[in-house]
Structures are given as structure tokens and as C-alpha cells.
A and B are shown apart, each in its own frame.
Chain A
Amino acid sequence: MAPWVGPVASYLATGLRETALLALACVAASLLAGTLVGSVLTLPSRAVRAPARVYVEIWRGLPIIIILYFIFFVLPIIGLRVDTFGAAVIGLSLWGSANVAEVVRGAVQSVPRGQAEAAAALGFSWTGRMRYVLLPQAARRALPPLIGLVVNLIQQTSLAAVIGLLDILEASQRSIERLTLSGGSSHAVPILGAVLAVYFVICLPLTMLSRWYERRLH
């Protein structure tokens, strides 16, 4: 092994740990907030739906980079202090939850109307209908696109590098920086190739799972 490989690999490993933590936090927050907002989107009252709709349109419509810059630089100006990791979690989860909300809304509305009506006739409240009738069925339909979103979210964590979070991509950038500035080759091909490979190995099984599940549904 060439002498430059060792230090770079262990640096990337620290970055990978950060990437994994960030991905876990974002996936959990997005699923939680997204299911909530998505459920609100299925409510009959227009006035209640409106704020949820605005939330979804804004955070789905903005490029994630812009969201991250905004959270990172603008929140502290209005007095809210979050560290880089926190800013990345908030920014990515705003985007992620808005997308989860759309999937959840679509899945809930794809459950035949008669079922909700039958449950209502049996005396279920809205929360009861959601909890026992609609969400369990919607969950099956929503699962493949949700896994797809999780894959997407894992990949989008790489954007945290633009606000300086030391994730696997930022670690690779700093390694390339150091190797270039010390006068040698940047080794950009193997280093960035390794980063691509790490993401591929994590994401491919999930993508395959999503496809397998989707086929099983049909």
C-alpha cells in the first residue's frame, strides 16, 4: 500500500462515522415529522391543511444547498444558535420531511375512501381512523418510495460538506487539499472513487430492497 493511503483512509473513516450519524438523525427526524405533516395534509379542513401545504411546498421547492446555507448563516443572525451538525440535521430534515409528507399523503389518499367512511361509521375518531385503518394500509404502499427517499437522504448528507461538516466527502476534500498542497499528486481518482464506492455499498442494498418490495406489492 502506498504511504499516503493509511492516513487518508483513517481520516475518511472518521468522516464516515459523521456521515452515518447525520444520516441516522436525518432519516429519523424526516420520517417522524414527515408522517405528521403528511397526515395533516389528509385532514378535511382546508384551514388546517394550508400551513402544512405551505411547509411542504417551500421545503420541497428549494434546492437543499440553499436551505443549508440559510439555516447555517441566517438562523444565528436571528438569535438561534445551532452547531454545524445541528444545522445540517435541521436543513436536511426540512427537505426530507417535506418529501416524506408528500409520500404519506399520497399513500393515505390511495386507500379507498369507503374504508375511512366505514371506520367513521363504526365510531372511530380521526386519530383512530388514521391509527388503525388508514396508516397501516398506507404504510405498505408508502414503503417502497420511502426507502427510495431514505436512499436519497443518505446521499444528500454529502451536502453538509458545503457548510463545512467533516463528513466523508469533506474528509476526502481535505485529504485531496493536503496532498495537493504538499506538492504531490492529489490522488483524486482513488480517493473520490473510494467515497463513491462507500456510498454505493450502503445505498445499493436499500435500492434493491425497495424494488423487491415494490414488485411484491403488485
Chain B
Amino acid sequence: MPDAAGYHFEPGFIAHHLGELGSGLLRTLAISSIGMAGALLVGVLLGAISSLRIPVARHLITVYVEVFRNTPLLVQIFFLYFALPDIGLQFEGFTVGWLSLLLWGGAYNVENFRAGFEAVEGGYVEACRALGFSRPAAFRHVTLPLGARIALPSVTNILISVFKNSSFMVAISYPELTDTAVNIVAVSFRVFEMFLAIGVIYLGLVWLMSLGAGAVERHYAIPGGH
């Protein structure tokens, strides 16, 4: 496919780099799965503390959430990797990878879960308390399962974003999928084929995750509710 710029499309080129792309993809999956699991855990835990209005802790959580939600993830990544060592905290690329995704996704999920928990109607909890449940027990058996289900769609959205945003690690040269592709382009100059290839990989995985998320959401949908 020669054209104005003298560019020749060479689809066979991708096959030669499958091995490198594969190990890049593994790193992408590694940092995003830790990041996603962590973001889920942080979200539930801090979201619960926040909705239970536990003093002090609740305000600290607000500060965490607002700082991470109102600044760009890319700048957070730069800060973690290049600036923190100046004040004595040095992390590897891998650590910055999952940690930045966890902190970012966690901040959004705290909000998602808090909103979910607060959306559970007071009547349920009161009924539960009347039956003799303690406040923590009422939370665990009523607010948590119902609230988490309400929060589920926005939570899965954020988790998929965590996966997509693992590509930001190209900025700190951590060799995940995007960085691997950029490095292959740096020596082979085949920019079209390479970005087409990883575009298809990302899109395919995001599509699979959306299917999975949809199935989970349907399974846990509150019957007749909300």
C-alpha cells in the first residue's frame, strides 16, 4: 500500500514481534489486575468508613479522594516515579504501575461505594436494627450487599478504566504493552502496523471485560429494584 508519504503497510511485521508484545501484555495485565483488585478493596473499605460517618477517618478519606480525583493520573504517575525519590521514597516501575492505578481507581471507587451505601433506604437498616442486629452487623448484612449492587455499574466502569489507563506507564518507560510498542517502533519505524495491532488488543480486552461486567451486573441486579 504505497502512498503519498511513501509508506508501505507490512502486516507480516507484527508476527515478528509477537513475543515482545506478549511479555508487554503480561506486564499490562499484572499491573492492572493488582490495581483493579486494590481499587475494589480500597473502594469498599473506605467507602464504608465514609458512609458510616466515622469522624476524622472520614475527613482524611475525603482529602484522599479529592486530591486523586481532581488531578490527572499522568501527573500523579510522574510524581510517584520521578519526584518521590527526592524525598526518600523510591519505587520500581512495576510498583509505581500498580500503586498509581490502585490509588487513582480507589479514589473513584470510594465515591462510587459511598454513594451506593448511602442510597440504601434507611428503612431496611432500621428494620434490621429492630430485629436486634448491631450497627456493624446491619451494615454487613444489609447496607453492604445492597449498596454494592447499586454501585456495581459505576465500579466496573472505573475498573475497566484502570485497565486502559495502565497504558499511561509509557510515560515512565515501564515496559507494558504500550511502552513495548513504542520501543519496537523506535527501532523498526513501523508506526501504523504497531499501533493498529495494540489498538486491536486493547479494544478486544476492553470488550471482553465489558461483557464480563455486564454478566456480573445482570447476575447481581436487585430484583425489581432501583
Contacts and interface: CB of A to CB of B under 8 A. Distances in A.
B61 to A, nearest CB: 15
A143 interface: no
Residue among A63, A79, A204 facing the most chain B CB atoms (10 A cut-off): A63
A186 B86 CA distance: 9
Given A162-B170, A186-B82, A188-B82, A66 B195 contact: yes
A207 B75 CA distance: 18
Interface residues of A, number: 39
A26 interface: no
Nearest to A79: B4
Interface string A39-67: 00000000000000000011001111110
> At the interface, is chain B mostly helix, strand, loop or mixed?
helix
Contacts of A77: 3, 5, 7, 191-192
Given A162-B171, A200-B71, A70 B199 contact: yes
A155 B73 contact: yes
Contact of A188 (B71, B76, B86, B202): B86
Give the dominant DSSP class at A's interface. Answer: helix
A192 B72 CA distance: 11
A158 interface: yes
Interface stretch (B47-55, B127-135, B160-168): B160-168
Interface of B: 3-5, 7, 66-67, 69-76, 78-79, 82-84, 86-87, 164-165, 167-168, 170-171, 178, 191-192, 195, 198-199, 202-203, 206-207, 210
